[in-house]
Amino acid sequence: MTHATPETVFTYGSPQLKFGTGASAEIGYDLASLGTRRALVVTDPGISATGLPQRVAEQMKAYDVTAVVFDGVHVEPTDESMRFAVEFARENGPFDAIVAVGGGSSIDTAKAVNLLITNDGDLMDYLNAPVGNGLAPANPLLPLVAVPTTTGTGAESTTVCVLDVLSLKVKTGISHARLRPTLAVVDPDLMMSQPAGVTAASGMDILCHALESYTARLYTSYDRKEPAQRVPYCGANPISDMWSEKGLSLLAGSFRQAVAHGDDTLARGDMAFAATFAGLGFGNAGVHIPHACAYPIAGRVRDFHPADYPGDEAMVPHGMAVSLTAPEAFRYTFDADPERHLRAARLLAPGFDESTVDARDLLPTVLADLMRDIGIPAGIGEVGYTTGDIPDLVEGALKQQRLLATAPKQPSEEDLAGIFERSVTLW
């Protein structure tokens, strides 16, 4: 694709980062350094039951910071659950900082709360078009400290929050630079109790973040933007490439081990690094087709329930949903940049015998082998979808134009239908 005025500028943003065993014990000090006197701690019931959010709240007292804990986050948040959290914050405020303790669900809910207690309007005003109005926040947000307890979402690094809009049965999000956390506190100790099923699903989110940002459109492939038009997802660039490549290398050595042997501290630490690195990459380059397809897969689920997830309601965890079309999505995008697809596969599976497959099939094969080894379902058919559901799934994916615009090849409705059809059964 050529342009009369091609883009020559890319942007890069990230939170402050504190990484390492014991890092979460310093949050009180970190908040006080931000001038905090009253903080809202946002978490979910499962994490709350471990006592971790309460320990985080307790340590703030030594620094004269008062904490209020909200533990009503819904795993895989909805517009309804986020509005409930916002109402709690409004009724129990004011606050001068927010601390999110948990997986992507808690961090994303905290982002929405932060947005809506500092800016006028309703959730729908800020949701990405065409689902919502796509408004930008007019006012600055409060400092947000993100403390992930799962290795996967990268939400602690990004400008995005994701949710299900129940009435539309679609997953969408809000994206703006002001949503990015101020500080990410990544403590591998907090991830040691993550069950195998959660490690597998959230780990596939790490992997797809790295792969999608690495294969995204190059930033130079866009038309030149005016300063006010710049958005966080600006396309693959040299800095995002560096983070993605390192994330893939770490996953190659740690992913299977972390799922099979959750007590392996080295594997857990490498997964935490990989999640952080991939988040620092995709949070700027962007993600594309697998994520766009994942939103309707998760949003229209009927009766599938994954192992090791709380509750008994139907759900397809985000990372699992992303992974289910990834092999076929990357088979489709291969022509856009074969060398990038091949390099990604080689980083992820350095010992793979390439003589056994065609070049186009290398990355899909490596992905499917990994998914099979860690217990990911063998396609969308195993989470309850049939070929009869494909038109609805395509309709949902087409609503994710912000993501599809980042793809190295622009998929038509027929292209997306083909990806879904070939993903009913992957092996």
Q: What is the pLDDT of residues 340-374, one digit of tens each?
A: 999 999 999 999 999 999 999 999 999 999 999 99
Angle between helices 359-374 and 338-348 (to 10 degrees): 30
**pLDDT above 70 coverage of the chain, percent:** 99
Residue with tokens 């405020």: 93
Write down the pLDDT at residue 1. Answer: 52
Characterize 196-217 residue by residue with b for buried, 16 or more Cβ atoms within 10 angstroms of its Cβ, and e for exposed.
bbbbbbbbbbbbbbbbbbbbbb
Residue 414: partners with Cβ closer than 8 Å, 6 or more residues away: none
Quick one: average pLDDT of 207-213? Answer: 97
End-to-end Cα separation, the chain, in angstroms: 35
Between CA 126 and CA 134 the distance in angstroms is 5
Q: In this predicted model, what pLDDT tens digit does every residue of 28-62 receive, in sequence order? A: 999 999 999 999 999 999 999 999 999 999 999 99
- What is the full DSSP assignment across 293-357? HHHHHHHT--S---TT-SSSS----HHHHHHTTHHHHHHHHGGG-HHHHHHHHHHH-TT--GGGS
pLDDT for 283 equals 87
How high is the pLDDT of residue 404? 96
Residue 88: both structure tokens together: 């709690």
Q: Are 114 and 98 in contact (CB under 8 A)?
A: yes
Residue with tokens 């994303």: 108
pTM (2 d.p.): 0.91
Question: Do the beta carbons of residue 169 and residue 395 sit within 8 Å?
Answer: no
DSSP state of 75: S
Q: Cα–Cα distance between 206 and 271 in angstroms, integer?
A: 9
Q: Whose CA is closest to 301, among 169, 212, 172, 184?
A: 169
* Average pLDDT score over the chain: 94
Half-sphere exposure of 37 (CA within 13 A, CB side): 2
Helices 196-215 and 338-348: crossing angle in degrees, nearest 10, is: 150
The pLDDT of residue 339: 98
Whether 427 shows a pLDDT value over 60: the answer reads yes
* Residue-range domains of the chain with CATH: 22-186 (3.40.50.1970), 196-423 (1.20.1090.10)
- Residues 204-228: what's their mean pLDDT? 96
Report pLDDT digits (tens) over 288-306: 999 999 999 998 999 999 9
Q: What percent of the chain has pLDDT over 90?
A: 84
Q: Residue 151 above 90 pLDDT?
A: no
Q: CA–CA distance from 205 to each of 172, 202, 271 (Å)? A: 16, 5, 11
268 pLDDT higher than 70: yes
Closest CA to 206 of 344, 306, 75, 322: 322
Q: Say which range, 87-96, 128-137, 415-424, has the weakest mean pLDDT.
A: 128-137
Does residue 224 surpass a pLDDT of 90?
yes
257 by Cβ neighbours in 10 Å (0-12 / 13-18 / 19+) ranks as middle
Q: Which residues contact 16 (CB under 8 A, 6 or more apart)?
A: 182, 183, 184
Token reading at 248: 């893939």
- Give the pLDDT confidence of 157-197 residue by residue, as tens digits: 889 898 988 888 777 889 899 999 999 999 999 988 889 99
Which is nearest to 248 in space by CA: 201, 283, 210?
210
Give the model's confidence band at 150: pLDDT under 50 very low, under 70 low, under 90 confident, else very high. Answer: confident
Is 94 in a helix, a strand, or coil?
coil
Question: Residue 234 region, left (φ>0) first, then alpha (ψ -120 to 50), else beta?
Answer: alpha
pLDDT recorded at residue 3: 60
> Given pLDDT bands bounded at 50, 70 and 90, which one contains residue 2?
low
pLDDT digits (tens, 9 = 90+) for 3-16: 678 999 999 989 99
Mean predicted confidence (pLDDT) in 62-91: 96
Average pLDDT of the residues in 110-118: 98
